[in-house]
Structure 1
């Protein structure tokens, strides 16, 4: 597999998994949030990827029977779907979140999670249609704008994608998750100089994740002619 094929494969993962916990943590600031916040805080404070995964598994064991008992409860369906996504159970997560979106067509948190689940399985056109319903022009969400950009990059539409990244950065200046996707977008277009500059800016943020820094290492490897750039760290946040 070529270095650029590796980049293509990683971009969607960074955009979706990279947003997962940041979205959950933001939920506690949202009026009428349906996401149980204690669980997301516990995962976010876990000291290692292994500890975070173990906590997600505990949450899955908790939410599974609750969902089976009452699949119509929006908060339970959302929490269960997000947990399944965090564990990489893509098909199951998609089924749960799709059903929840049908039952709660105006619940933007569910729509956002459903869109990301669609992106997880490569249904980018469908994801874009769902993302459009997950926020509104008068109340834009930078996380959704960032996810829309990543989906467009996957569809080979980098010019449109960067318009969404720019819009996201206006709402969240310097946000490393956005800058990381923008840097990968440049890399996909083989503009490695811009890619490195943008990823270096992302990695310099105190909020940058391990994956953001790993993406910078990967692009620097490409610039140096390394045929096997380091794979970004596995991320559950």
Structure 2
């Protein structure tokens, strides 16, 4: 595989990782700092069994939340819980432009709500406004109370902007907060790959894939790097 094709493939994967990672965090954060608190159970689809809820059930969950919080937002656009809940649900449904508009307004009306800022920053990343996303996410947590999810998102965005060393610093800081977290290790592995260190990339991605919390995206990233290191087309979808 030619070097230009390799880098192009890796950049494509990293671009997808930024969007996927930010989307995956739509309902992961608790909202204890948001007035009129929305419980995490309300924002996270659940299942009666140990299996993950089906895609149809997840979509139905987010549609229900979008309707519920959309009505509350229409009645009172200044309510931080309504703005946050509505924006998060819209993002989960892929309605990026509308989600961005709602979360932008919510952040303007509630500038002290860090959770809303975090959601707004991710919405900016969704639409490719990476510089703006970094500026907003930088205000969504503080050095004395770092949030590993935000640090990880910042790192992924910096990789998109062609600033791999800065990105790596954010990943390292995130790992200190959440040691062994596969989503951080996965992004760090891609960072090493973009920097040309495929051996280090594979080692890091193997650590990520070994975690019981690793998902298919992590394993797919490992498969990609393994195929690149072997000089083969990146067609593998999974790796053990």
Normalised to the residue count of structure 1, the TM-score between the two structures is: 0.86
The answer to whether the aligner puts 1:14 opposite 2:17 as a matched pair is yes
Of residues 74, 77, 83 in structure 1, which corresponds to 2:89? Answer: 83
Of residues 145, 150, 161 in structure 1, which corresponds to 2:151? Answer: 145
Of residues 23, 29, 44 in structure 2, which corresponds to 1:41? Answer: 44
Answer yes or no: is the 8 Å Cα contact 1:146–1:168 preserved in 2. Answer: yes
Deviates more, 1:34-43 or 1:77-86: 34-43
Give the superposition deviation at 1:200: 1.0
Give the alignment's Cα RMSD to 1 decimal: 2.5
Q: Which residue of 1 aligns with 2:77?
A: 71
Q: State which structure, 1 or 2, has the greater radius of gyration over its C-alpha atoms.
A: 2
Q: Which residue of 2 aligns with 1:214?
A: 220
Instruction: Tell me the SS of whatever aligns to 1:145.
Output: helix
Give the superposition deviation at 1:49: 3.4
Structure 1 residue runs of 5 or longer lacking an equivalent are 233-237
Of residues 64, 68, 71 in structure 2, which corresponds to 1:62? Answer: 68
Give the superposition deviation at 1:16: 4.7
Answer yes or no: is the 8 Å Cα contact 1:11–1:184 preserved in 2. Answer: yes
Instruction: Tell me the SS of whatever aligns to 1:27.
Output: coil
Give the superposition deviation at 1:222: 2.2
Residue-by-residue CA offset, 1:105-128 (whole Å, 9 max, x unaligned): 111100011111111111111111
Which structure exhibits the higher relative contact order, with contacts defined as CA atoms closer than 8 Å and separated by 6 or more residues? 1
Instruction: Tell me the SS of whatever aligns to 1:24.
Output: coil
Answer yes or no: is the 8 Å Cα contact 1:94–1:118 preserved in 2. Answer: yes
The answer to whether the aligner puts 1:52 opposite 2:55 as a matched pair is no
The 1:186–1:225 alpha-carbon spacing in structure 2 relative to 1, beyond 3 Å, is: same
Residue-by-residue CA offset, 1:72-101 (whole Å, 9 max, x unaligned): 111111111111111222111111111111
Specify which structure has the higher proportion of helix.
1
Q: Which residue of 1 aligns with 2:179?
A: 173
Runs of 4+ aligned residues of structure 1 deviating over 6 Å after TM superposition are none
- In the alignment, the residues of structure 2 paired with residue 62 and residue 231 of structure 1 have an alpha-carbon distance, to the nearest angstrom, of 38
The 1:53–1:194 alpha-carbon spacing in structure 2 relative to 1, beyond 3 Å, is: farther
Answer yes or no: is the 8 Å Cα contact 2:26–2:89 preserved in 1. Answer: no
